[in-house]
Amino acid sequence: MTDSAPATRRHGKNAFMFVIITVAIDMLAFGLIIPVVPTLVQELGNISAERATLYIGGLGTTYAFMNFLFGPMLGALSDRFGRRPVLLASIATLSIDFLIMGFANSIWLLFLGRALSGISGATYSTANAYIADVTEPENRGKAFGMVGAAFGFGFIFGPVMGGILGEFDPRAPFFAAAALALLNFCYGFFVLPESLEEEHRRPFVPSRSNPFGAVKHFSKLPHVSWFLVSAGVFFLAHTVYPSTWPIHGEIRYDWSPKEIGLSLGLVGLGAAVVQAGLIGIALKRFGAVRTTLYGIIINALALFAYAFAGLGWVVFLIIPLGALGGVASPTLNSLMSTVTPKNAQGELQGASASLNSFAMIFGPMIMAGALFYFTEPGTPLHFPGSAFLLAGILTAFSIIPFLRGVEANKEKLPIDE
């Protein structure tokens, strides 16, 4: 789509697929770099794998802090100016981020790259708002599942490709990711249509565009805030994956970047199968509320299993169980979207992204800190699964605010029988 094209095209399956492909390419680029980050951190810092966990946690916290500050602002801007320009700006910044990290000659340049990536990280929340624009409420659970499947696609091929490239040079995946992000920008510039009509846009209000203002706004709506709290705790627990999975595999199972990439690829494959195919069946069979609840429980069980998996091959047996829990996040997102007005969908996604980022400010350091404490030389108790055990406990705890949210919405949501 060029600037001379109409601002908004007729919505339909084509518009829906445009944003799905955009998300898939973004996640493919992100997935490329995951297996080699531990190697690059150890190389630049000249440190051990155990010590590298703290730097990796710090990189995750840097990303999250910037995303926490800018996520709601970009969500509110998308409510004012449309989804398309926000998506394009985010993708362009992402390409610059990968180039900075690829050329980094010090560990601090990695932190600069992650900071820029945090600013551009609103792609997911804006994509969710886009999906809400072009789908009817009764179809959003399946639609959000397709977004999750696009993420899964990125994690099927991205980490595997990154692991293979990392065997030759730990910087190669960063340049490949930058090229994909640039390709994605070109695709979006020429093809991606606008989804938010002029009549549904609203003025940019600063009090609603900062992270604290967005959270305060939704805290006045109990039927939304309980779900947001549940999603926030759930996401806090799941920071264990990006912050510790690669380095945990290296420390506990002596995995190479290739093996790390393969394991993450299988995780992505499971997520794609569940969120693209099984989520629709689960929604018809159990309904949105029970599907979300069962998904949270399965996630907790999988995390506990990872915590006590002493052999690397056991992890590959647990991955399919964890994949079944992939129904939780998109269906919870659908429940929140259903009870939110159409002209506040961008703000909802911005507030949700803000809370998630707030969780990630602390999550990576908490999870990486647990892994470091229980694996460093001289520790009184050697337990490499400590981070996953903590994540499982937090996931189980997220059930409490979720059930409170269901109770607050019993007149607005079809409660499953």
Is the pLDDT reported for residue 75 higher than 80? Answer: no
- In angstroms, the CA 352 to CA 72 distance is 8
13-194+208-408: CATH architecture: Up-down Bundle (1.20)
Share of the chain above pLDDT 70, in %: 81
What was the pLDDT predicted at 285? Answer: 87
Indicate the pLDDT class of residue 223, thresholds 50, 70 and 90.
low
What was the pLDDT predicted at 414? Answer: 61
Mean pLDDT of the chain: 80
Q: What is the pLDDT of residues 333-380, one digit of tens each?
A: 888 877 776 666 666 766 776 677 678 788 888 999 999 999 988 888
Is the pLDDT reported for residue 383 higher than 90? Answer: yes
What was the pLDDT predicted at 305? Answer: 97
- Amino acid of residue 54: L
Residue-range domain boundaries for the chain: 13-194+208-408
What was the pLDDT predicted at 147? Answer: 74
Is the pLDDT reported for residue 1 higher than 50? Answer: no
Mean per-residue pLDDT, 39-52? 87
Indicate the pLDDT class of residue 10, thresholds 50, 70 and 90.
very low
Share of the chain above pLDDT 90, in %: 19
Q: Which residue has the higher pLDDT, 124 or 297?
A: 297
Q: Which of 15-24, 157-166, 355-364 has the lowest mean pLDDT?
A: 15-24
Mean per-residue pLDDT, 248-258? 90
Is the pLDDT reported for residue 78 higher than 50? Answer: yes
Is the pLDDT reported for residue 126 higher than 90? Answer: no
- In angstroms, the CA 38 to CA 250 distance is 9
Secondary structure in 3-state letters for the chain: CCCCCCCECCCCHHHHHHHHHHHHHHHHHHHHHHHHHHHHHHHHHCCCHHHHHHHHHHHHHHHHHHHHHHHHHHHHHHHHHCHHHHHHHHHHHHHHHHHHHHCCCCHHHHHHHHHHHHHHHHHHHHHHHHHHHHCCHHHHHHHHHHHHHHHHHHHHHHHHHHHHHHHHCCCHHHHHHHHHHHHHHHHHHHHCCECCCHHHCCCCCHHHHCHHHHHHHHHCCHHHHHHHHHHHHHHHHHCHHHHHHHHHHHHHHCCCHHHHHHHHHHHHHHHHHHHHHHHHHHHHHHHHHHHHHHHHHHHHHHHHHHHCCCCHHHHHHHHHHHHHHHHHHHHHHHHHHHCCCHHHHHHHHHHHHHHHHHHHHHHHHHHHHHHHHCCCCCCCCCCCCHHHHHHHHHHHHCHHHHHHHHHHCCCCCCCCC
Is the pLDDT reported for residue 2 higher than 70? Answer: no
Q: Which residue has the higher pLDDT, 121 or 109?
A: 109
Is the pLDDT reported for residue 213 higher than 60? Answer: no
What was the pLDDT predicted at 88? Answer: 83
- In angstroms, the CA 301 to CA 294 distance is 11
Q: Which residue has the higher pLDDT, 235 or 276?
A: 235
What was the pLDDT predicted at 229? Answer: 86
Is the pLDDT reported for residue 262 higher than 70? Answer: yes
What was the pLDDT predicted at 9? Answer: 41
Is the pLDDT reported for residue 298 higher than 90? Answer: yes
